[in-house]
Structure 1
């Protein structure tokens, strides 16, 4: 009963007061003074140690010293990062979070370091904690949105929105459980949906495992919210590490999994199932007699798969995987050597190359042309452990495919039919509305191979390292075989007679024995950039205009001093003191520095870092008559990224600084405006930042596809399970890597100018703008796709929306679709915060100017 006595009772301990400790107080006082002095002297490491001592001994100073402590931590972390003391850096952050566990700024900063080091799961956890502490913290919100795309891939939303696929899996699991599979293991559980299906179907025991920390924590939340926390055991580990009875008490009778990618085996399903059959699953059912003797048997859902393939022509694939042009800007590419994308397939495994990439064939810009009928490449039974173990040692299979129409051989495409059980299956084919893309095996070579009707294409299929590998190795024409894997596409296939083509192929084989197999690898986006002739030609024109103007200015200056300049032959300019200086700080492989140097009387600095790529630039410089001393690799002399923008040698200023402004995915590069501000301070009089201005354009659209790829839709629970509120926490407002030309959407307005970023005039910039756009059709506004017109100068621009662009587009997806009628005015509030664009929309039927 409640205490009736009104006087509070005190224990003996509660009455004793803490004594003052003079020595302790003196230590705190002197350490605080030392910390402040070290901070003043920029001795951040010592200051950090003193602050730790003070705040551990006297927590009362936390509020007083918080800002100084943060500043010290961040500066000391920068120093540790610059010298590679990464473990010490994270130790400092952990010590700081012990003192300030609820400090959103420290959490966000540690997350940024973790993300840069590649620890995306851990980074997201810190950003998420920072947001929970302060939901309006813009830095944490933007960081979380950037990392969420990696943590919870967008296909999770498509998959959960695919009602047909979900029902088929649920029905197959229900049939298996009702037939006696009462103990279930869900491998790669994701949101936990398949494990919950098994429990709902009546399974006695359900276990699940998930490697991703983010998805593991999400699955735990989902399972708990659906009242199954005590009946489904979720393990944060790979199934390959699981043991009986350490992790699960005994073998299970059913494994369910969807660890399949576009190439079927890319997520390690073969290795996982072999391990499961040997260590986690009951033995399989062999036959009727064996079944009578062994009543407890194991099985797998899906039961197996059939893999299909097709050869096709596609300009979009071609320009991302091989060099298609002979000249880039003003440069001949003859001396570039062999350039490859990192995707190349052969029957022999190569750890440096990916065997395939993935694309949604139905959304490829420009479409594709099938050159063969679809063919069956492989059948696999997931319930036959001997077949799984023998997959990697299967003999290479050769398949002859009749060519059905003329075209250039650009790639092989692969998709599959996933057999859940004897009755139900799912297809990932290019004509299916599915969450899977197709696997693409590009054909490399510098020249096209034209296939003709009545040819036969010889394709090899292998699984040497449990990856499905398809490789086009030969063409049979008029009874003669022309080897593609020996030719390296150096000899074009034409209408010449077969004997001549065979002789040519033999000649290539003989020369290949003495030829180096060395090549330079470029990212797919870098290859597409090289093939973007319009981009380089416009840059060439803009650079030529600027350099010509500065040459005249320099000439006038020289004439005034009585020293005649020599602009006639760049090779004569061995003295670099009077040259114009151009700095290219583009991300990745860029030829813009060479294009600048080719103008003459220019010393160009490139930010290309990789040795092989630097070698390519040196070869191109030599073959295009650019003096060796007129090209320098800037980052070779720069200790860190902070040193990228600084004065060139001899205290000269830059004539031009080329900034890489837009990421391939369609977003403005982070810290662009800060870099532009610094760049302007380093320009000589009359110098330019390239580009000088970026204009953002957008349009109102209605697109169900963007909604399905951005969040779980609808009010109804998924298969009766409450999943949406948990996974939708990872919804991001901006959809990236978008091909607007093939996006399934209804356009509800004309394009409109949304925002302008001026890289040459800081006073012209703003952070907020409201724009009115009139709806041209009735519908629901679900998204605002946006793209950029990049102005190199007042007259010359390039568009990220152009057909040959190496950039993709992005779109802001509205949280709630906005109903409009034709003629309605929509007010768009556009904001730019640290290079991140956000857009909100509202209907405003008051006619007015373009700006609200």
Structure 2
């Protein structure tokens, strides 16, 4: 059965109706999920298996049958581990129907259908009794309900319910306990992802609105691969502290609770950020431990387990706080049923911060994501735009900016343009920009037009023609780098209000490509035919059902500063878009090959956009540099790049097989649909 889905095209801005299979979204969700990553997480799987065997042994030693409840079974892997370890019966609960169907097939394929019952329900809906889902209560509770924040997937309410209604009076839990850690740091890099910082302009100093500076920020945790953050990017103001311990073998409560931690400050500075992670003990003695600590806490030479399904947390304090060395402070972790947040005050001071979860009240944290804050605060990038605008603006320029939430209008005004307008698609973004302009006494000077480009008329511009059209370009609806070609479509729709000799900046945009070897990221798309001796090939089939015909012709967005990779080729310009002209009617095509110049495993191709601001100035949203010897890549940290994973990994090294020497590419840009079809293949 086919269904039609309405989607706003991020490149053209049009509403497209797309025909899809009715189960397409399910397969997409599975394909883009972390199931493959979890199955490849050898450290996680080994620790779970050891913990499950120990729990089954403890129950058997008490002379009891081992009845297992596995909540959030996913592939059924942990249930199969339990039966292999000697469990008498296992109830595997999975609320996501396509995943539970996969689990049924995987359990059957491995010969466990008689001992594992897959239940397609939320655990809170599971019943016990002769006519229920479970014949009896369980005495071993196995779960993998954790996310980077530990409790963000609803682990606490699920435990609370299960322990009251689905477990016997005495039970074993795997994992047995979790410990959450926190460290207070000063980090201007991280803080720039949370607040809009002041900016020096030619006409004076730009100040963000006070309500933006006092706003507690986005309520969601910032999860990143903290191992890739250079220790030079932060200053430790506290030792690593234990925030809380949760014993899963005891009665769990999901009620809101606070955990105060007193500490003596290690150095003078500005407390801005709390770094946090957790570990889990699989047994009561704590001898089987699985930790999420960042790589720089491991001993030199120690192998650091890589995982993308569990990372580390960055929490932003509600406001910066100046601290002095040896000063006595109290960091309080607040926890509700789904999230955590932190407040900081002097030791002994009365707690005056609200125990309620922080919520953005300035609007900026709703409109802009954290990388966008970082981009707006990127001084080197701002300087490039300043230089470019100084080359193209004159005292008589009528300037129009087309980008979401851009500071370019401020730069253009400070440089001396006669009139500056800016275009915002949403009313929320319009109000935010008007607040920013108002604080800087520019609300009446820089009109904010809340319109789509095709609706802008000469009346909106005071019966004047635009002589300079500018953009970053950046749009909040963009997921992949080339989605920002919406600037080109806007420029085309605005043709009626542009002067004949209108200057457009950027002048052009180009897609650049690079063949790479990933250190770890390749694992998320690597086949997972077996795991810990169990056949899970059905997962590959489900992923391929979605990926073979769609994803293998598409790129995925990834913030590559978090995922180390080596350049196996030199970067090349694969396709250029001329913003001086309107969007053409004909399809644009480009094909060629990327020669591999370094040895390694070619896992895929990275794609990004570069913008030519003027004839001699450009900005990149992707590759910033490559080390000469090893080819290690440095990526722009405030944008995601596109990653096209090759369907088969290719090798460039002397071996028994002929090595790959290049990667062929074909790019086809369809102006009508605003998308880029791509194909990459290895050449031997």
For the aligned pair, the TM-score class normalised by the smaller chain equals: 0.7 to 0.9
Which residue pairs with 1:169 in the alignment?
Answer: 48
Q: Which residue of 2 aligns with 1:521?
A: 364
CA RMSD of aligned residues (A): 3.9
Give yes or no for the alignment of 1:336 onto 2:227: no
Q: Deviations over 1:518-545 (max 9, x none)?
A: 6443232332232123434444444454
How much has 1:726 moved relative to structure 2? 3.5
1:416 lines up with 2:278 in the alignment: yes
How far residue 427 of structure 1 moved from its aligned partner, in angstroms, is 0.9
Structure 1 residue 426: deviation in Å? 1.0
The structure carrying a bigger strand percent of its residues is 2
1 CA distance for matches of 2:497 and 2:389? Answer: 18
What's the offset of the Cα at 1:705?
A: 0.6
Give secondary structure in 2 for the equivalent of 1:668: helix
Offset of residue 330 of structure 1: 6.1
Matched, 1:838 2:658: no
CA distance in structure 2 between the partners assigned to 1:827 and 1:842 by the alignment: 5
Give how far 1:331 is off. 6.8
Find the aligned partners of 1:189 and 1:646 in 2 and give their Cα distance. 57
Secondary structure of the residue aligned to 2:534 is coil
Asked if 1 retains the 8 angstrom alpha-carbon contact of 2:596 and 2:663, the reply is no
Q: Structure 1 residues 183, 449: CA separation in 2 closer, same or farther (over 3 Å shift)? A: same
Give, in whole Å, the separation in 1 of the partners of 2:458 and 2:427.
23
Deviation readout 1:657-698 (Å, 9 max, x if unpaired) = 647457775532177365554345653312244433112223
| Closer, same or farther: CA 152–406 of 1 in aligned 2, 3 Å | farther
Q: Does 1:757 align with 2:582?
A: no
Quote the residue 2:628 is aligned against: none
Q: Deviations over 1:269-311 (max 9, x none)?
A: 1111110011111112xxxxxxxxxxxxx33221111222212
TM-score, normalising length from structure 2? 0.78
CA shift, 1:210, in A, is 2.7
Counterpart-to-counterpart distance in 2, 1:241 and 1:518: 36
Picking from 400, 403, 410, the partner of 1:582 is: 400
Q: How many correspondences in the alignment?
A: 617
Report what 1:379 is aligned to: 245
1:633 to 449, 455, 474: 449
Partner of 1:186: 70
Alignment of 1:39-438 (within 5 A): 101=1, 107=3, 109-110=4-5, 112=7, 127=20, 154-178=33-57, 179=60, 180-228=64-112, 232-245=116-129, 246-284=132-170, 298-327=171-200, 332-334=205-207, 336-339=209-212, 344=217, 353-354=218-219, 356-364=221-229, 367-385=233-251, 388-389=252-253, 392=255, 394=257, 396-405=258-267, 407-422=269-284, 423-431=287-295, 432-435=304-307, 436-438=310-312
**Residues 681 and 411 (structure 1), Cα distance of their counterparts in 2 relative to 1, 3 Å cut:** same
Q: Distance in 1 between matches of 2:399 and 2:238?
A: 53
Decide which moves more: 647-656 or 330-339: 647-656
* 1:68-101 CA distance string (max 9 Å, x none): xxxxxxxxxxxxxxxxxxxxxxxxxxxxxxxxx3
The answer to whether the 8 Å contact 2:559/2:637 transfers is no
What does residue 771 of structure 1 align with? 592
Could you say if the C-alpha distance between residues 460 and 153 of structure 1 is closer, same or farther in structure 2, counting changes exceeding 3 Å?
farther
TM-score (norm 1): 0.64
Q: Could you tell me which residue of structure 1 aligns to residue 511 of structure 2? A: 696
* Counterpart position of 1:532: 378
1:815 Cα deviation (Å)?
A: 1.9
Q: Is the 8 A contact 2:395 2:417 kept in 1?
A: no
Q: CA deviation digits over 1:620-639, x for unaligned, max 9?
A: 4345453627403324xxxx
> Does the 8 A contact of 2:559 with 2:639 survive in 1?
no
**1:829 alignment partner in structure 2:** 665
Which piece of structure 1 moves more, 728-737 or 701-710? 728-737
- Unaligned stretches of 5+ residues in structure 1: 1-100, 116-122, 132-143, 285-297, 345-352, 487-516, 552-579, 636-640, 845-852
Aligned equivalents of 1:814 and 1:531: distance in 2? 35
The within-5 A match list for 1:446-465 is 449=321, 451-465=323-337
Alignment deviations for residues 181-224 of structure 1 (CA, whole Å, 9 cap, x no partner): 53322212222222232344454433233333453444344345
Q: Which residue does the alignment assign to 1:711? A: 526
- Structure 1 residues 678, 616: closer, same or farther in 2, change over 3 A? closer
Match for residue 440 of structure 1 among 298, 314, 319: 314
Q: Kindly state the Cα deviation for residue 358 of structure 1 after the two structures are TM-superposed.
A: 1.3
Cα deviation, 1:483-515, whole Å, max 9, x if unaligned, reads 9988xxxxxxxxxxxxxxxxxxxxxxxxxxxxx
Q: How far apart are residue 785 of structure 1 and its match?
A: 2.3
- What is the match of residue 566 of structure 1? none
Q: Give the 5 Å matches for 1:422-571.
A: 422=284, 423-431=287-295, 432-435=304-307, 436-445=310-319, 449=321, 451-465=323-337, 467-474=339-346, 519-522=362-365, 523=368, 524-543=370-389, 545-548=391-394, 551=397
Pick from 599, 609, 612 the counterpart of residue 791 of structure 1: 612
CA distance in 2, matches of 1:360, 1:748: 23
1:617 maps to 2:433:
yes
Structure with greater helix share of residues: 1
